[in-house]
Amino acid sequence: MKNNFKRNPIFNPKGNDDVAKRTIIKGQTTGLFQLNATKYQWATSLYQVMVGNFWVPEKVSGLKDDARMFHSTLTEEEQRAYKGILSFLIFLDSIQTVNLPNFSDYVTSPEVNLILSIQAYQEAIHSQSYATILETVVDSKDREEIYYFWRDDKILLGRNKYIGQIYQDFIDKPSDKSFFRGIVANYLLESLYFYNGFAFFDTLVDQMKMLATGRMISYIRRDELTHVTLFSHLIKEIKAEFPEIYDENLIVQMMQSAVEQEIVWGQHILGNKMPGMNRRTTEEYTKWLANQRLELLGIAPLYKDAVQNPYKHLDRLQDTNSDKGNFFESTVVNYTQSSSMNGSWDF
């Protein structure tokens, strides 16, 4: 069958912006951002949350305290994990910033294009956040090592190449299949790949270590949760409007591969000497999280025994009634317009 998967024209005078004619992809829009009439209400709700999450890394205080603690308190294993995990997070947000417009070029809903643009902006802010952390916390001689950790770490290089190739395949040969595969890869990146790294920083915080870095990560994670929501809806809209493109078997297969990669990487970079984390908890957490992300797409759990999160302190850190509930409070709160994400969209 002839593939008709084409990039949106900048301006299409023969297009039709009527909501009744609108589809998530392959629509015939004029190219105008007609936002007074929208089809996807989840996108308009998510827009409010994403805009309300505005923050800038320069307003997060305490990184100089982290710099002292990094050298005086963290073990060698914790320092290595700190550097390696930052390297992977830097890559993930870098590739998202560059690649998101490639997806948006094929989305034919202006309300969804709008929030994809906000996501790209947020990914760029995350990259600036990591630069701010590196500039303040680690020695200048170590920054290059962190950015290019993958040059000397074969496991990280393999992960980066795997993700990058999926995106490159879509750019080189855009088609129904490569687009859907790219969308699924994006969902896995946003919903799974970040989270063992986030759990590491949260575990340090639970031990009252590297608190400013943890604050920065908390705002990044808050953004990433909106990105998870965005791409889960994209996948579900494709399923509803283009069932011939949707491929549940591919999602499950890619999720399984992502879990295997994430466990190998997590166990590699965290080792078995990290207080509060070990090889067993890395595997349990990754599989539990994978089940949660599949459930969000309406897909049955892949790992029947992974029924609970082994990191109880993650819930405690986000419990505003706990002793450490105010940990995430900082100057940046003054720049945050939304008080809560709860209830703002439907997972």
Tens digits of residue pLDDT in 126-161: 999 999 999 999 999 999 999 999 999 999 999 999
Q: What is the DSSP letter of 25?
A: B
Strand locations in the chain (E): none
Give yes or no for a contact between 181 and 166, defined as CB atoms under 8 angstroms apart: yes
Give the pLDDT of residue 318: 63
Running DSSP on this structure, what letter comes out for residue 26?
Answer: S
Across all residues in the chain, what is the average pLDDT? 90
Is residue 11 over pLDDT 90?
yes
pLDDT one-digit tens code per residue, 218-267: 999 999 999 999 999 999 999 999 999 999 999 999 999 999 999 999 99
Core vs surface per residue 130-157: b (16+ CB within 10 A) or e: bebbbebbbeeeeeeebbebbeebebbe
pLDDT for residue 345: 34
Give the pLDDT confidence of 271-329 residue by residue, as tens digits: 887 888 999 999 999 999 999 999 999 999 999 999 999 998 887 776 444 444 333 33
**Residue-level pLDDT at 337:** 42
Q: What is the reported pTM?
A: 0.90
Annotated active-site residue 130? The verdict is: yes
Contacts of 100 (CB under 8 A, 6+ apart): 116, 119, 120, 123
* CATH superfamily assigned to domain 52-335: Ribonucleotide Reductase, subunit A (1.10.620.20)
d(CA 133, CA 58) in angstroms, rounded, equals 10
Alpha-carbon torsion (297, 299, 300, 304), positive or negative: negative
Query: 47, 82, 106, 130: which one is catalytic?
Result: 130
DSSP string, 76-99: HHHHHHHHHHHHHHHHHHHHHHHH
Share of the chain above pLDDT 90, in %: 85
Break the chain into its structural domains and give their ranges.
52-335
Contact 198, 289 (CB under 8 A): no
- Three-state SS at 107: strand
- Out of 31-35, 203-207, 335-339, least confident range: 335-339
**Token code pair at residue 131:** 């630069």
Specify the pLDDT at position 3. 60
Helix (H) or strand (E) holding 231: helix 211-241
The confidence band for 347, taking pLDDT boundaries of 50, 70 and 90, is very low
